[in-house]
Amino acid sequence: MLLTIAALTVSAGWWLPALGGLLALEGRPAHADAIVVLGGGFPLRDQHAIDLYREGWAREIWRTGDLPGGSVVLQKARRLALQQGVPETAFVPVATDSTWADGREIARMAQERHAQRLLIVTEWPHSRRAMCVINRHLAGTGVVAFYDGPRHPPYTPSNWWRDPEGRRIVSGEMLKTIYYLLRFGVTPWAC
């Protein structure tokens, strides 16, 4: 057991960044019909979406995580967007409570609103699983989704373990990745 601990400690400079790299997709903005901010991650995700909107990448911002009875985070996101010049008609709440529901509702809304291209905004630890789920729901619809994450994250795939929030988020995302594999058959390495 001590040898295992020693081996893990000595090789941590290799396997910790590799673990972060397994979760992360490379972001790139692309012109789209809507920027879709996945629930949670306020204000980092929302500010990035607002910046993308103001730069002209899309004409609407869809924000997931609108829970029955209202969501405090969604209301804060709306307020932030309106304060920075996003018209109220361009901010569209989406009722979801999980990444799986995000994918389902994003696909439904894309069809309903005749969107062909979507720019998904979330942080890098969530990017691979989220895009796998969204692409599964979009399969066969002709809708294309792109991913872009906040430009200045507080931690990266190469240093996440040095930040307490990074350790918490990445550990949770690893558990969620396993759960989504077992529950929904989402295989992130195949996306």
**What is the domain-level CATH number for residue 117?**
3.40.50.620
3 in a domain, yes or no? no
pLDDT at 14: 59
87: three-class secondary structure by DSSP: coil
Q: Which residue has the higher pLDDT, 30 or 190?
A: 30
Q: Smallest Cα–Cα separation from 49: which of 149, 128, 125, 169?
A: 149
- Is pTM, for the whole model, over 0.85? yes
pLDDT bin (cut points 50, 70, 90) of residue 67 is confident
**Structural domains of the chain, count:** 1
Of the pLDDT bands very low, low, confident and very high (cuts 50, 70, 90), residue 3 is low
- Domain presence at residue 8: no
In the chain the first and final C-alpha atoms are separated, in Å, by 35
Residue 179 inside a domain? The answer is: yes
Residue 13 — pLDDT band, cuts 50, 70, 90? low
DSSP 144: E
- The answer as to whether 10 is a domain residue is no
Phi, psi of 144 (to 5 degrees): -110, 135
Residue 92 confidence (pLDDT) above 90? yes
Mean of pLDDT values over 79-101: 97
Q: Specify if 22 maps to a domain.
A: yes
Q: How many C-beta atoms surround the C-beta of residue 26 within 10 A?
A: 9
Q: What is the pLDDT of residue 2?
A: 57
- The boundaries of the domain holding residue 37 are 16-190
Side-chain half-sphere exposure of 82, counting CA atoms within 13 A: 10
Task: Give residue 70's pLDDT.
Answer: 80
Residue 4 lies in a domain: no
Mean pLDDT of 69-84: 94
| Assigned domain for 6 exists | no
Mean pLDDT of 38-58: 97
CA distance 167 to 155: 10
pLDDT at 8 over 50: no
**pLDDT the model gives residue 77:** 97
Taking the CB of residue 60, how many other CB atoms lie within 10 A of it? 19
Q: Is the pLDDT of residue 5 over 70?
A: no
7 pLDDT above the threshold of 50: no
Query: Per the domain annotation, does 27 fall within a domain?
Result: yes
Q: What is the mean pLDDT of the chain?
A: 92
Residue 66 reports pLDDT greater than 60: yes
